[in-house]
Structure 1
Amino acid sequence: MTNPLLQSFNTKYNSAPFAEIKEEHYLPAFKELIDQSLQEIQEITQNPETPTFENTIEALAYSGEQLDVVSNIFFNLNSAETNDEIQQIAQEVSPLLTEFASKISQNEQLFSRIKKVYDEKDHYSLNEEQKMLLEETYKGFVRNGALLNDEKKEQLKNINIELSKKSLQFGQNVLAATNQYYKHLTNKDDLAGIPEAILAQYEEEAKERNLEGYVITLQFPSLLPVLTYAENRELRKELAIANGKKSFDGGEFDNQNLIKELVQLRQEKAQLLGYKSFADYVLEERMAKSPQKVLEFLNELLTKAKPFAQKDVEELSVLAKANGITEMQSYDHAYYAEKLRKQKFDFNDEELKPYFQLDKVQEAVFGLAGKLFGLEFVETADIQKYHADVKTYEIYEGENFKALLYADYHPRKGKRAGAWMTSFKNQYIKNGENHRPHISVVCNFTKPTSETPSLLTFNEVTTLFHEFGHALHGVLANTQYPNLSGTSVKWDFVELPSQFLENYCYEPEFLKTFAKHYQTGEVLPDEKIQKIEDSKNFMEGYQTLRQLSFGILDMSYHAENVKVEDVKTFETETIKATQVYPTLSETAVSTSFSHIFQGGYSAGYYSYKWAEVLDADAFQYFKENGIFNPEIAAKYKVLLSSGGTKDPMELYKNFRGSEPKVESLLKRAFG
C-alpha cells in the first residue's frame, strides 16, 4: 500500500494531500517517521567531528521535519474533523510520540554534544537568533530531564506517557459528552423570546436527526441563544446545568479522576526535575517568571474588578426582581444582561447580526491585514481540503507568496467546540529557501441556511478577529529556525497579537467599511455603532472576575503541595472570592476545562489577562498616532515576524519604546 504521508506531497506548496489520506495511513506513517527521525538524531550523535553549532544545534532544529508535518495534520484533524477511528489512533500514537520525545531529550550522547557547544558558546560568532536557539535547546533538554540519573529518566518518561494519554482522554470525554446531549422540544411556546432566525437553526438540527420540532445542543451557537433570550427560566436552568455537568455526572465520560491523576502526575514531574510545583516549572519559561508574580497580578485585578462586578450583578438583580426572582442564579445572568443591555443601549446581538455577514467580516479582516501589513488574500480551488466547509486562500505580500490559509468556520459533529488558530506547516529558512507556513483558523459560527447566509453576533466578529490575530503571527513569521517561528513564543506573550486585533472591531471608521446589512446593503447606523462603543465595557467587571476565576483555579491546581480529594470541593473553595452567584451543586468548571487539562494552558491561563495589558497598551500607541499609522504598523510587523527569536519584553519595548502599563488595561476596562 502506497502511503501518501510517507511520500513527497505532489501538491501545490507541498500542502497536505487530504484527498489521498486514509485513517489506516497514520499509524504506519508515525512509526516509520519516528524511526527516520531517530536515525537523524543518531547521525548527529555519531558525527566524528567536534560538536559545533551547525552540526549539532542547527542539525537538531531541522530534524524530524516530515514527522512534524504529519503530526500537525493528524492532531489538527483530531480537533477539527475527528471520528472514533481517529480518536483510537490518537490513543495509540500519543504514547509513541511521547516516548520518541523522551528518547531525544534523554539521549546522553546528544546532550553531551549540546552541552559542549553551550559551555563554549562564547567561542562562536553567533547572531541573536542563533544565541536564542542555543539557549532554548539547552534549557529544553535540562527541563526534560537531561541531567537526571537513569532511574529518574525512566520515571520521567513514564510520567510523560501517562500525561499524554490522560490529557487526550480528557478532551475526548468532553467532546463525547458535548455530542451526547440534546434537548428536543415540540412546543414553540417553550422557546418564547428566542429569535426566529435561531428557531430556524433548531428546526434544521431537528430535521438532521429526523425529529419534529426543535433540537438544542451544547454546541455554543446553539446553547448561547437559550441562555440569552429564553423567557422559560426552567429551560435556561436545564441547559446551563447540562452544559455545566459535562464530564461531571459520574457517567462514561466523567473527568474527575482524570483531573486528580493529571494534577498528581504534573506535580511528580515538576518535583522530579527539581521544582517546587508544576507552576514553578511552567512559569520559569514565561514572561511572568513565578507563581507569586502571577497571583499578585491576578489578585490586584481581582481587588480592582470585584466592586465593578458586584455593581453589574446588582443592576441585573433589579430587573430580575421585577420578574419575581429574589435570588439570581448564574443561568439568569446572560438573560438579564441582554435585557439590561437592550434597555441601556437599545440594541441586542440579534438585531446587529444582519450587519455582520461572515463573508463580509472575513473580507474586512483580510483588508485590515492588507492596510497594516501589505497582505493580499486570493481564494484558491487548487488546495486539497479535509472538509467541504473549508475554504483555502493564498496570501501574498506584493509578488511574494507569504502563506496558505485554511478557513473552517462552521460546527459539525467531529469538531470540538470553541475557536482556535493552528498550523499544518511552520515557516523556516533552510539552504537559502524560505519555507512559508500553512495556517488554519477554526471556528464554530452558525451555518448558513437555505434562507440566510452565515450571520455573526458581535462577539463572534471579535472571535474571528482574535483568531486571525494569531494567524497573522504565523503568516508574517520570518525566522531561520522552525522552533522559533510564528507563535513559538512565551505563552503569556502569544495572546498579544490576537487580542490586539480585536480592538479594531470597536473603531467606527473601520466598522463602517464592512458592517452592512446583508439584504439592503445599509451601513450599520451611527447610533448603533455608538452603542457598540458605549457597550464595549458592559458587564466588564463580571467578565473580568470570570476570567480571573479561571486563572486562579488553574494556578491552584498546579501550586506547591496541592491535594485534590474532591474536584467540586477544591474548585468551590479555590474560586469563592471570585464568585458573585451561588454555586450550582450539579455543575463544575474543571471537568470541561480543556484549556488546562487538554490544551497548553496548564499554569498559564492567566496569560489572557496578562496579554490584555499588552494589547491595551499596544493599541493605545496606535490610537494616539492613528489606528492605521504605517510607521507604527511597520514596527508592530517586526514584532510579529520575529517569533521567539528575542525575549518578548525586549520585542515589546523595541515596538512601544517602554514596558506595558497595567493602567492602560484598567483605563480601557473601567474608565
Structure 2
Amino acid sequence: MPNPLLAEWSTPFALPPFDVISDEDFEPALMAALKESRANIAAIAENPDEPSFENTIEALELADETLGRVLSVFYNLAGTDANPKREALQRSFSPLISEYSSEITRNRALFQRVEAIWAAKDSLELTEERHRVLMLTHRSFIRAGARLEGAESDRLAEVKSRLATLGTEFTQNIVAEERSWVMDLADSDLIGLPDFLVDAATAAGSEKDRSGPVITLSRSLIVPFLQFSPRRELRERAWRAWTSRCANGGETDNRARVAETLRLRSERAHLLGYADFASFKLETEMAKEPKAAQDLLMQVWAPARESALLDAKLLRAMLQADGIDDDLQPWDWRYYSEKRRSAEHDLDESELKPYLQLDRMIEAAFACANRLFGIEARPLKDAALNHPDSRAWEILRNGEHLAVFIGDYFARSSKRSGAWCSALRSQRKLGGHVAPVVINVCNFAKPPQGRPALLSYDDARTLFHEFGHALHQMLSDVTYETISGTSVARDFVELPSQLFEHWLEVPEVLSEFATHAETGEPMPGEMLERLLAAGTYDMGFQTVEYVASALVDLDFHQGEPATDPMQRQAEVLDRIGMPSAIAMRHATPHFAHVFAGDGYSSGYYSYMWSEVMDADAFDAFREAGDPFDAGVAARLEEYVLSAGGSRDAAELYEAFRGKMPGPEALLKGRGLAA
C-alpha cells in the first residue's frame, strides 16, 4: 500500500486523509520528501542555463512541495494530538530539517544564481510582486549565512540545528507538565464555583479517568477557578502550579534550555555580524530596531502600571475586609477583581457565560466575515480531520470555492496550550491555483456530553482573534507562497487578528448571536450595555502582565546573553517596578512564544505594535459611520488581507489608511488615556 502522505489525495478539496495516515507513515514520508527536495535543489543549482527568475526563484518556490505537505500534516498532529511516538519523531525530525535548510543556504552554486539575478534585477523588468519575492529570497539567504565560509559556516549550521532541538524539547516539556498536573476537587471545594466551571472540571476529570471534578493546567480551567474559588489555599496551589511550569527540576525543567538558547542565539547573531540577536531579528520587522519596540512598550507601561497600582489598593481593601491580614497576592487578584467587576458593573460571569455559546460565536465570526467580505461558510459533514472534536467548513464567495476552514476548539491533554492559526496548505497561483486549508486551534473547556460549550468573553475574543488570522490566510490573493497569507513582518501579522476582535464589540453582533443556551433568548439589552461598558475593566492588570513579558523578551536578546535567565527576569521586573500582586503573563520557563522556536523571539512586543494599527484601522470604520462599511472593508481586503507580504508592511498600511498611526488610539482603547 502506498504511503498516503506521498500519494495524490482524492479527498474532498484534497484535504489530508487523516483517517488513513498512521504514525508509521511519517518517517519514510519525510525521508522520501527530503530526497525529492534535495534532487530539486541540485537540479536548480546545477542548471546549465543562465540564471533567471523562472529557473531559479520560481523553481525554489516549488522545490519543497512534497516536504511541505508532509510536515504540515505532521506538525498539526504533533501540536493538537501528541503521543509518545509523535513526540519522538518530532525530536528526530528537528535536526534533520535544520540540516536540510542549512544545505540550501550553504549551496554555493545555488546562492551564486540568486546573487546573479539580484545583481541584474533592474534590467529584468520584474513585476512588483516578483521583485518583492526576489528581494525576500536573496535576503533570506544572506540572513541564513550564505556569505559565511569555512568554520563560520559550519558553526552556524551546528547552532541552528541545536536551536531546533532545544525548541522542540522546550515545547514538549510544557505539554508534559500540563498533562501530568491535576488537582482533584472534593465536594467542599466546589462551594462558590459556578455551574459552568463545575461542569468543565467534571468533564476534565472524566478525560483524566478521575472519579470526580479536577482542575488542570488548561487556561480555560485555571482562570475561572482563580476567579471564583473562595478557597485561598487552593487558589495559591493552582496559581503556583500554573506559573511554575517547567521550573520544578527534573527532565522537564526548561531553565537550562533557555540559557543555552539565549547563548546560541547571541552566537548566531555575532556570526552574521550583528551586535545581538534582537538587532538581527528586528531588522526585517516594522520596528527595525529594539529601541523602537521598547519605546512603544514604555509609553504604554507607565499609565498601565499606574492604573494597576490604583486597582491593587481597592482589591487589597476587599481582601482585608474578608478578614485576611495579608498583602494582596497574585492568586488573589482575579478573585477579588471578579467580585469588584460584579459590584461595579453588575456583571456575573456565571450569568454572562450562557449567552456566549461556542457554536453561536462561530456563527457570529462567519456572519461578520460575510458582511465585510462576502464570504459564506458551508459545513463539511464527512471530512476526515485531525481529531474527532474538529469540524470543517467550505468557504465560498459568489458561489465559488475559496478555502477550507477547520476549527479545533477544545482543550485536551494531548494538545499544546494556547491558541493559534496555521495553514495545512497556503494559497498560491504558481504552478496552478492552490486554495488554502486553514485551521484555528483553541483550548476551550469541553462540556459534558450533550451540553453546549460556553465561553467567557475572553474566550470569545480569542475565537475572533484566531479567525482574523484565518481570514488573512483565506483571502490571500498572491502568486507566490513565500508571500502568501500571514507571511508578513511579525509586528504586522497580528493586525488582522486583533482588528477582527473589534467586531465582537459591535452591539448588533452580540444582540443577534449572544443567545441563552437554555432559553434561546437574546442577551438582555441592559446586560449587553454593562458588558460593553466594562470593556476596559482591569485593563491595567492585563496590560502590565503583557508588557512585562514583552520587555523581558527584548532584554533577554540584547547585549550579553544571561547566564541565569531567572535572575535576569527578576532584574528586569525590578527595574520597571513590576507590581508585586501581578506576574508576567508568561514566565520564562514556559514562554513558548519566545523559546519554542524563533517565531516571536525578540518579537513578543509585536502584539502591542499591531494594536497601534488595529485601533487606528477600526477607527476607519467608525469614521465611515458603519462598522461594516463596504468601501473601508474593500480597502482592508485589498491592502492588508489579500496582499500578504507582497509589499512592505508599512507601505500596505499607509495604502489602506493614508499614514502610520501613533499610540493615542491604543491608549484610549485600553482606557489608559482620556
Please, what TM-score do these two structures have when normalized by structure 2? Answer: 0.97
Structure 2 SS opposite 1:365: helix
For 1:649, what is the secondary structure of its paired residue? Answer: helix
Correspondences of 1:626-641 after superposition (within 5 Å)? 626-638=626-638, 639-641=640-642
After superposition, the Cα gap between the structure-2 partners of 1:274 and 1:522, relative to the gap in structure 1 and judged at 3 Å, is same
Alpha-carbon distance between aligned partners in 2 of 1:268 and 1:553, rounded to the nearest angstrom: 19
Deviations 1:106-148 (A, max 9, x none): 1100000000000110111111111110110010000000110
1:467 aligns with 2:475: no
Partner of 1:668: 669
3-state secondary structure, aligned to 2:628: coil
Flag the 1:588–1:596 CA change in 2: closer, same or farther, 3 A: closer
CA deviation profile, 1:607-646 (whole Å, cap 9, x unmatched) = 0111110100000111121100000000001121000000
Q: What is residue 646 of structure 1 aligned with on the other side?
A: 647
* Match status 1:224 vs 2:223: yes
| Matching residue of 2:269 | 270
SS at match of 2:146: coil
Amino acid at match of 1:512: S
1:545 and 1:578 in contact (8 A); partners too: no
User: Counterpart amino acid of 1:285?
Assistant: T
Q: Is the 8 A contact 1:102 1:157 kept in 2?
A: yes
Corresponding residue for 1:160? Answer: 160
**For residues 182-221 of structure 1, what are the structure 2 equivalents within 5 Å?**
182-186=182-186, 188-221=187-220
For residues 139-188 of structure 1, the C-alpha deviation after alignment (integer angstroms, 9 at most, x for no partner) is: 000000011012111101111110000110000001101111101132x2
Partner of 1:595: 593
- The question of whether the paired residues in 2 share the 8 Å contact of 1:546 and 1:578 is answered with no
How much does 1:304 deviate?
A: 2.8
* Mean Cα deviation higher: 166-175 or 539-548: 539-548
The Cα of 1:352 is off from its aligned counterpart by 0.8
Q: Counterpart in 2 of 1:77?
A: 77
1:247 aligns with 2:219: no
1:236 maps onto 2:235 in alignment? yes
- State the distance in 2 between where 1:492 and 1:384 align: 35
| Conserved 8 A contact 2:476-2:642 | yes
Give the match for residue 516 of structure 1: 515
Q: Judge conservation of contact 1:206–1:214 (CA < 8 Å) in 2.
A: yes
Question: 1:305-454, aligned counterparts within 5 Å?
Answer: 305-325=304-324, 326-431=326-431, 433-450=432-449, 452-454=451-453
Query: What's the counterpart of residue 568 of structure 1?
Result: 566
2:195–2:350 CA contact under 8 A, matched in 1: no
Query: 2:111 matched to 1:101?
Result: no
3-state SS, counterpart of residue 512 of structure 1: helix
Q: Which residue of 2 aligns with 1:7?
A: 7
Give the C-alpha shift of residue 382 in structure 1: 4.1
Q: CA deviation at 1:320?
A: 1.4
Per the TM alignment, residue 498 of structure 1 is displaced from its structure 2 partner at its CA by 0.5
Aligned residue identity for 1:589: A
Taking the aligned partners of 1:211 and 1:18, their CA distance within structure 2 comes to: 30
Cα distance between partner residues in 2 of 1:16 and 1:234: 47
**Shift in Å at residue 659 of structure 1?**
1.1
Q: Deviations over 1:452-484 (max 9, x none)?
A: 211111111101000000000000011000010
TM-score, normalised on structure 1?
0.97
Distance 1:296 1:383 in 2: 48
Amino acid at match of 1:612: E
Structure 1 letter corresponding to 2:589: T
Q: Is the 8 A contact 2:312 2:581 kept in 1?
A: no
Please state whether the residue corresponding to 1:409 is helix, strand or coil: strand
- Larger mean Cα displacement after TM superposition, 96-105 or 655-664: 655-664
Q: Partners in 2 of 1:212 and 1:99 — Cα distance?
A: 48
> What secondary structure does 1:289 align onto?
coil
Structure 2 letter corresponding to 1:198:
L
Query: Does the Cα contact within 8 Å between 2:333 and 2:581 map onto a contact in 1?
Result: no
Output the CA distance in 2 between the equivalents of 1:203 and 1:635: 47
SS in structure 2 at match of 1:519: coil
Distance 1:253 1:272, change over 3 A: same
Secondary structure of 1:19 counterpart? coil
Verify the 8 A CA contact 1:425 1:438 in the aligned structure 2.
Answer: yes
Give the % identical residues: 36
- In the TM superposition, what whole-angstrom CA distance separates every residue of 1:370-423 from its partner, at most 9, and x where no partner exists? 100010000013422121111111100112210011111111121111111111
Structure 2 SS opposite 1:652: helix
CA contact (8 A) 1:506 1:532 kept: no
Equivalent pair of 1:283/1:291 in contact (CA under 8 Å): yes
Alpha-carbon distance, 1:350 to partner: 1.9
Q: Is the 8 A contact 2:203 2:447 kept in 1?
A: no
Query: What CA distance in whole angstroms lies between the structure 2 residues aligned with 1:523 and 1:274?
Result: 60
Q: CA deviation at 1:582?
A: 5.2
Q: 1:210 to 1:118 in 2, by over 3 A?
A: closer
- d(CA) in 1 for partners of 2:11, 2:387: 17
Which residue is 1:172 aligned to?
A: 172
Q: Give the corresponding residue for 1:500.
A: 499
Whether the 8 Å CA contact 1:389–1:409 is kept in 2: the answer is yes
Contact 1:547 1:609 in 2 (8 A): no
- Which portions of structure 1, spanning 4 or more consecutive aligned residues, are displaced by more than 4 angstroms? 582-585
What is the letter of the counterpart of residue 601 of structure 1?
A: Y
Q: How is 1:110-189 mapped onto 2 (pairs within 5 angstroms)?
A: 110-186=110-186, 188-189=187-188
Distance in 2 (CA, whole Å) between partners of 1:61 and 1:208 is 43
**Aligned 8 A contact 2:98 2:161 in 1:** yes
- The residue number in structure 1 matching 2:604 is 605
Q: Distance in 2 between matches of 1:508 and 1:11?
A: 40
| Shift of residue 226, structure 1, vs aligned partner | 1.4
1:139 to 1:342, Cα distance in 2 relative to 1, 3 A: same
Tell me, in whole angstroms, the C-alpha distance in 1 between the residues paired with 2:660 and 2:311.
32
SS in 1 for 2:422: strand
Cα deviation, 1:46-89, whole Å, max 9, x if unaligned, reads 11111111111111122211111111111111110110100000
CA contact (8 A) 1:571 1:590 kept: yes
Partner of 1:526: 525
Matches within 5 A, 1:614-629: 614-625=613-624, 626-629=626-629
How far has the Cα of 1:209 moved from its partner?
Answer: 4.0
Q: Deviations over 1:189-229 (max 9, x none)?
A: 22321112321332333344443332211111221221000
Decide whether the 8 Å contact of 2:549 with 2:586 is kept in 1: no
Q: CA deviation at 1:445?
A: 1.3
Post-superposition CA distance 1:320-352 (Å, at most 9, x none) = 121133300111111011011001101122211
Letter in structure 2 aligned against 1:7:
A
CA contact (8 A) 1:549 1:578 kept: no
- Checking the alignment, whether the CA contact within 8 Å between 2:366 and 2:376 is kept in structure 1 is yes
Aligned residues of 2:115 and 2:138 also touching (Cα < 8 A): yes
The residue matched to 2:429 in structure 1 has which SS? strand
3-state DSSP of counterpart to 1:310:
helix
The count of aligned residue pairs is 667
Q: Is 1:391–1:407's contact at 8 Å kept on the other side of the alignment?
A: yes
Letter in 2 for 1:334: R
What code does the residue aligned with 1:573 have?
E
In structure 2, the partner of 1:31 is 31
Report the AA paired with residue 663 of structure 1: E
**In structure 2, how many angstroms separate the alpha carbons of the residues matched to 1:627 and 1:662?**
21
Read off the aligned partner of 1:483 and give its amino acid letter: T
Counterpart check, 1:90 vs 2:90: yes
Q: SS of the counterpart of 1:561? A: coil
